[in-house]
Amino acid sequence: MWASSQQLSERSSPAFRFSAKEPLVEESLERLSHRTLNFKNDSNLLSDFNLLVSSARGNEREANSELWYLIAELGDRSAETSYTPVSGLTVAKTSLDPLRVIQNLRSTLKEKPWEFRYVLKVKPVQKVVPTEIEAIGKAVSERSGAIRDGETFRVSIEKRRSNVSSKEVIDAIAAKIPRKVDLRDPAKVVLVEIIGTVAGIAVIPPNGILGIEREKRTT
């Protein structure tokens, strides 16, 4: 039976999303209403976030609306998101444990992959500090207990709009962690995400980052 012109018009509206597994998924009015309400241009959030979100350039608002909805499903309906100075990169603040959020989002991705359209990657952040060698080293030292005796680690640094020396950052971190380095198969990864004048720090397991496209290919 052919769809009427009115039905076709309704299906092309923003309230509907297309998925190979679910041909027609209605996006909730709640989700649509938060496209603007939860998305801010708040410089204060850039110094106090615990999730770093990557999207395609120009899709920042949609990605953060999507992330807000997903986090709300996990139990936090007061999460906030904000722009950063870098295109395709935004930050979020949730009351939930960021490491647990990554685990739960991974489970959601396996069960309902069509829920992820704009978010490309989510990284956890446990501490935000100024982009200064001493401050970064101190923040890592405070979390070095997550790397147990006998475990190895690797430092992963991504710099954006900063001239800070990666070697100096790595040397400062290595001096704070009395464990062996393993670049290929570490037990823990020390994550340093630099965005201009601030740096997000986390000590995570190797699978502590959620890469949407990669995980969709492996499931």
Shared domain check, 172 and 81:
no
Write the CATH number for 87. Answer: 3.30.70
- Tokens 């004048």 appear where? 197
DSSP 126: S
- The larger pLDDT score, comparing residue 22 to residue 66, is at 66
Res. 139 pLDDT band, cuts 50 70 90: very high
Domain residues for the domain of 190 are 128-204
How much is the average pLDDT of 170-184?
A: 95
* pLDDT at residue number 42: 57
Tell me: pLDDT of 12 over 60: no
Directed axis angle between helix 60-74 and helix 29-37, to 10°? 120
Write the CATH number for 170. Answer: 3.30.2130.30
Helix (H, G, I), strand (E, B) or coil at 40: strand
Helix (H, G, I), strand (E, B) or coil at 190: strand
Among candidates 49, 58, 59, 70, which has minimal Cα distance to 129?
49
Spatial CB neighbours of 213, under 8 Å, sequence gap ≥ 6 = 120
The whole-chain average pLDDT of the chain stands at 85
Tell me: pLDDT of 113 over 60: yes
Residues 69-111 have pLDDT tens digits of 999 999 999 999 998 999 999 999 999 999 999 999 999 999 9
How much is the average pLDDT of 6-30?
A: 38
How much is the average pLDDT of 44-67?
A: 94
Q: Which two tokens stand for residue 13?
A: 């509206």
